[in-house]
Amino acid sequence: MIDIQERLTAFAMLGATWVMWLLVLLSIIGVAIIFERVYYFFASRDDVRKLQEDLRLLLAKNDIAGARERLSQSESFQAKIVYSGIEVVEDGSAAVEERLAGATSVARTQMERNLGFLGTVGNNAPFVGLLGTVIGVIKAFHVLDEAAGKVTSGLMTEVGEALVATAIGLLVALPAVAFYNYFQRLIRYRLTWADALGRDLLAYLKGSERKGSQ
């Protein structure tokens, strides 16, 4: 037990500086992911309302080739998902539905890439900062003990370092959580529109199948 306490004390004597550098590193990685995801989503944006109008108009004319061409012109995930379904339109609505489901899963995975790290940083950075604070307080008590209870500049430095660790942890966590939530809402929005476009295609196919059976 004494050996463990001595090891923990020796660890605390390292100070909270390494914790703050760890938080800075996590912050840099998080910012890089945020910029990469912002560019990624910006590059794949489109006017999906206009896309839906054009798709419905082409399907109403039974112009499958034109619908394929219109979808291929869009860089959006919504268009790519529906395009994967319209490729097998000759195989029936069941085949199209399976293609849409598979393409949606792939698109979700692509859009969520690296967001797990961002969410982890947002949830745990405050605890990492708190660890730095605890370490700093332990070291401060050690400095106080060495100074026989006198308040010295070294003691104040250790206390200040401990408080800064918590502040840095919060500063790292807040933007990470904010952008993680924003990206998740954006993903849900895009997948909702993809589902709407896919249902338009399925409605057209099922209507055509009913007319054919009659």
Domain boundaries, the chain: 2-209
Residue 104: is its pLDDT beyond 90? Answer: yes
pLDDT of 51 reads 92
Contacts of 13 (CB under 8 A, 6+ apart): 139, 142
Percent of the chain residues past pLDDT 90, beyond the cut? 48
Residue 150: is its pLDDT beyond 60? Answer: no
pLDDT of 1 reads 47
Residue 165: is its pLDDT beyond 90? Answer: no
Question: What b/e readout covers 146-158, taking b as 16+ CB neighbours within 10 angstroms?
Answer: eeeeeeeeebeeb
Higher pLDDT, residue 161 or 113? 113
CA distances to 53, 86, 105, 166 from 81, rounded to whole Å, are 17, 9, 9, 44
Contacts of 187 (CB under 8 A, 6+ apart): 108, 111, 112
pLDDT of 168 reads 86
pLDDT, mean of residues 120-135: 86
24-28, 136-140, 190-194: segment of lowest average pLDDT: 136-140
Residue 163: is its pLDDT beyond 70? Answer: yes
**Cβ-based neighbour number of residue 47 at 10 Å:** 11
Residue 214: is its pLDDT beyond 60? Answer: no
Q: Read off the pTM.
A: 0.82
pLDDT, mean of residues 138-149: 62
pLDDT of 177 reads 94
